[in-house]
Amino acid sequence: MEALRDAFDFRDFSKVEQIILVLFSIFLFIFPWLGFGSFVKTVMIYFLLFSLFGMGWNTIGGYGGQVELGKAQYVGIGAYTVALLMVWWKIPFWVSMPIGVLIAVGYSFMIGYPLFRLKGHYFAIATICTSLVLQDLFINWKLVGAAKGIELPIRDHPDFLYMQFKSDTYYFYFIMVLFFAGLFYMNWFRKSRLGYQLRMIKDDEEAAESLGIDARWCKIKAYSIASAFVAVGGGFLAVFNLYVDPYSVMDLDLSIKIALMAMLGGAGSMWGPIIGAAFLIPLDRFLGSWLGGQKGLIGVDFMIYAAMIMVVSAYQPRGIWGIIEQFRRK
Amino acid sequence: MIAFASVAMGGFGSIKGAFFAGVLIGMIEMLFPVFGHLIGWDFLGPHFKFTLVYFAYFIIVILRPQGLFGWKH
């Protein structure tokens, strides 16, 4: 009960933030009825999906201060579990997604236990290594479709159990529900015991340990929470794209994108990952569709994209949320 | 990525470490697939050569968290 009250309690934010949050929620609810096309809807779905990923990354990378660049392996585990169970045994999405999350959490404990002996750069590279090893295994594993990937069977009629719909609107509402669940969870998490312990570990690990916090165990717990978030998003990605292959769901690009969005938005703050995703996903998509197809301008969209990221991170290393706080304090 | 892994394997800040880790990574990458081909094991084949490197990095770093020739701060 206490936890629920904490999760829905936004009173410690400023008035402006509360008003923006309410307006944003209303905007999300009515968004599918505003008459935008399929492209804008897809961009919006990806924005919500990546802010979910970013919120997951924020638990370990933001509050815990451990730069973690291997989140794509959990996207892959979630996506592959949903896809394979659907292809092999026709298990509905609503059963296979929790199984995928359980597998991801179990795997994260297995990986996290040895991994959290490491610190700093060693840890970051080790997470990249585990994710690339998993990708290599899936690329060469004939049973799960190898490099070709697997296609999900398409049903004749729209089916709620298998999450196949005619319109993007349904997918939008589903990912919106997940997004709000993640938002309320994060609101509880930052006020929970583990949240405070993680922030202490981020500031000074030795001081935290001398106060009786088991730093390694805290980090493992936060890591598995992050993996659960990401695996949910991965399961959604599988039913949304109806197609899973190691290059799209397990690539290093995806891990770096997840970490980059949370860091650019402002790691360790509640709104950071959401702002980061809101900034980068539309920028990426609209620049790609506007400049990517024009003759003689191929690659310019990536240059602008990278330049924007560099400008923001050079101006304020704490990201966009850091810039906002800087102006607010003046 | 391989270069980054080799520096970390040898230990950040250690030139000797980077050198020996680089040699070790080269050996793993080239010799293991040949060895696997000779004894007929598929999972040591050339398409897994990077996996072997990352696996070696993982094991070394778990056993020595500061890298081969690194030092504790």
pLDDT digits (tens, 9 = 90+) for A82-131: 999 988 888 888 999 999 999 999 999 998 888 888 888 888 888 988 89
Q: How far apart are CA A240 and CA A87, in angstroms?
A: 15
Q: How far apart are the first and last CA of chain B?
A: 25
Contact residues on chain A for B8, CB-CB shorter than 8 A: 121-122, 125
Tokens 């703050």 sit on residue: A269
With an 8 Å Cβ cutoff, is A147 touching chain B?
A: no
Which residue on chain B is closest to A112 by alpha carbon? B62
Are residues A67 and A126 in contact, defined by beta-carbon separation less than 8 angstroms? no
Please state the rounded mean pLDDT for residues A44-70.
90
Q: How far apart are CA A60 and CA A254, in angstroms?
A: 17
* A44 pLDDT higher than 80: yes
Q: How far apart are CA A54 and CA A302, in angstroms?
A: 21
The complex scores an ipTM of 0.84
Report the percent of chain A where pLDDT is more than 90: 27
- Whole-model pTM over 0.95: no
Report pLDDT for B72.
Answer: 65
- Domains of chain A and CATH, by start: 2-329 (1.10.3470)
Dig out the tokens for A112 from the structure: 């996290």
- pLDDT grade for B73, boundaries at 50, 70 and 90: low
Contact residues on chain B for A131, CB-CB shorter than 8 A: none
3-class DSSP assignment, residue A221: helix
> How distant is the Cα of B53 from the closest Cα of chain A, in angstroms?
9
Cβ within 8 Å, pair A122-B66: yes
pLDDT tens, A186-215? Answer: 999 888 889 899 999 988 888 888 888 888
Domain range summary for chain B, segments of one domain joined by +: 2-63
Total residue length of chain B: 73
| A150: β partners | A244
Cβ within 8 Å, pair A140-B48: yes
pLDDT tens, A256-269? Answer: 888 888 888 888 88
